[in-house]
Amino acid sequence: MAEFAIEVSDLAFSYGATRAVDGVSFAAAEGEIIGLLGPNGAGKSTTIKMLTGQLPPERGSIRILGKDMPVDREDIQSRMGVCFEEKNLYANMSGVENLRFFGRLFGIKDVDTDGLLERVGLPDRGGDRVATYSKGMRQRLMMARVLLNHPDVLFLDEPTDGLDPVSSRAIRSIIQEEAARGATVVLTTHDMMEADVLSDRVAFINEGRILAIDTPENLKLAHGRRSVRIRSRNGPQVNETIVALDDEDASERIRAAVAKSDLLTIHTEEATLEDVFVEFAGRGLQ
């Protein structure tokens, strides 16, 4: 196994005159979840397409599991799983038939369809045609397809986009299990909550460039505000006070607020990833 499961250097791609990806570089270690966070059109999906061999890079290099993409594409693809933003399943085939078909493309003759469907929460629907599945069920089946070949690298493009909370939670759980197993996960999202919860590191991507890459915590601490919001009752009214943690008297003010019987709530005011993204990109994630 290479030192990094994924090494990307100076990646670039254009659609005609439009530069979609412009000098993207990052590396991901074995078992690491790295989130590419950015608004629609930022270049996340194009980056994933180059990493998965769907698009040849105009410039730059990609090394995955110690092999060069696209030179060793076939070797790399046999060890990776890809979840697309589109629910690209064969709707006239059942869930089991879809899994068996893709399994055979990987050279797997006896796909453990029961185990896979159980794992993604579809134990009883494997025999039904995908056309009858809800959006969440299709996404779960997509995750089952990702896991078919026990991949060492997972590329997940907006894996929970538009899903209900239950399906989103199930898919996030699978992603974390795969990372715990040692698989490297690259996921794209424009959902800062998802990136925050799932990612070991987050790369902010905008207009084809990575603006910053670090752990969510570091990003929030380095670029957010360290403060506490205190809400207390004052007769019929509610007072709200923000205490900056860097102020000299911060400890006293907080202690005093907590000691009072009219305290309602006290919350930390750390920045969200979106706040940090806005600071970097000058725009929001939507």
Partner 1 sequence: MKLEVIGTIVAKDLREFSRDRFYVVITIVGLLFYVLIFWVLPDTVDETIELGIVQSGMGQAFEQVADQGVSITAFASDQDLRAAIERGTGGISVGLSFPDDFPRSVAAGSPTTVTVYVTGDVPPEIRSSLSAIVTELGFLAAGRQPLVTAPAETEIVLGLDRAGDQVSLRERMRPLFAFFVLMIEMMALATLIASEVQSRTVTAVLVTPARVTDFLAAKGIAGTLLAFAQAVVLMAAIQSLGNQPLALLLALLLGAIMVTGLGLIAGSIGRDFISIVFWSMLFLIPLLIPAIASMFPGTAAAWIRAIPSFPLVDIIVQITTFDTGFGALGGQFAALAGWCAVAFLAGWWVLRRRVVAL
DSSP label of 81 = E
Helix (H, G, I), strand (E, B) or coil at 144: helix
- Quote the least distance from Cβ 50 to partner 1, whole Å: 12
User: Where along the sequence are the contacts to partner 1 (CB under 8 A)?
Assistant: 52-54, 74, 77-78, 80, 82, 84, 86, 88-93, 97, 101-102, 104-107, 145
- Quote the least distance from Cβ 95 to partner 1, whole Å: 14
State the number of CA atoms in the 13 A half-sphere of 90 facing the CB: 12
**Owner of token pair 């923000």:** 242
CB-wise, 82 or 271, nearer to partner 1?
A: 82
- Quote the least distance from Cβ 74 to partner 1, whole Å: 5
- Quote the least distance from Cβ 207 to partner 1, whole Å: 23
State both tokens at 72.
């060793």
CB-wise, 105 or 256, nearer to partner 1?
A: 105
Helix (H, G, I), strand (E, B) or coil at 106: coil
- Quote the least distance from Cβ 109 to partner 1, whole Å: 10
First to last CA, the chain: 38
CB-wise, 97 or 161, nearer to partner 1?
A: 97
CB 127, CB 182: distance < 8 Å? no
CB-wise, 184 or 227, nearer to partner 1?
A: 184
CB-wise, 101 or 280, nearer to partner 1?
A: 101
State both tokens at 250.
């911060």
Provide CB contacts within 8 A for 121, sequence distance 6+: 140, 170
CB 12, CB 58: distance < 8 Å? yes
- Quote the least distance from Cβ 78 to partner 1, whole Å: 5
DSSP label of 132 = G
- Quote the least distance from Cβ 26 to partner 1, whole Å: 20
CB-wise, 106 or 280, nearer to partner 1?
A: 106
Instruction: Tell me which residue of 214, 231, 229 sits closest to 269, measured CA to CA.
Output: 229
- Distance (Å, whole) CA 143 – CA 133: 14
- Distance (Å, whole) CA 114 – CA 101: 15
- Quote the least distance from Cβ 90 to partner 1, whole Å: 6
Instruction: Tell me which residue of 133, 106, 111 sits closest to 122, measured CA to CA.
Output: 133
Q: What pairing do the DSSP bridges indicate for beta strands 227-234 and 237-244?
A: antiparallel
CB-wise, 141 or 202, nearer to partner 1?
A: 141
CB-wise, 3 or 110, nearer to partner 1?
A: 110
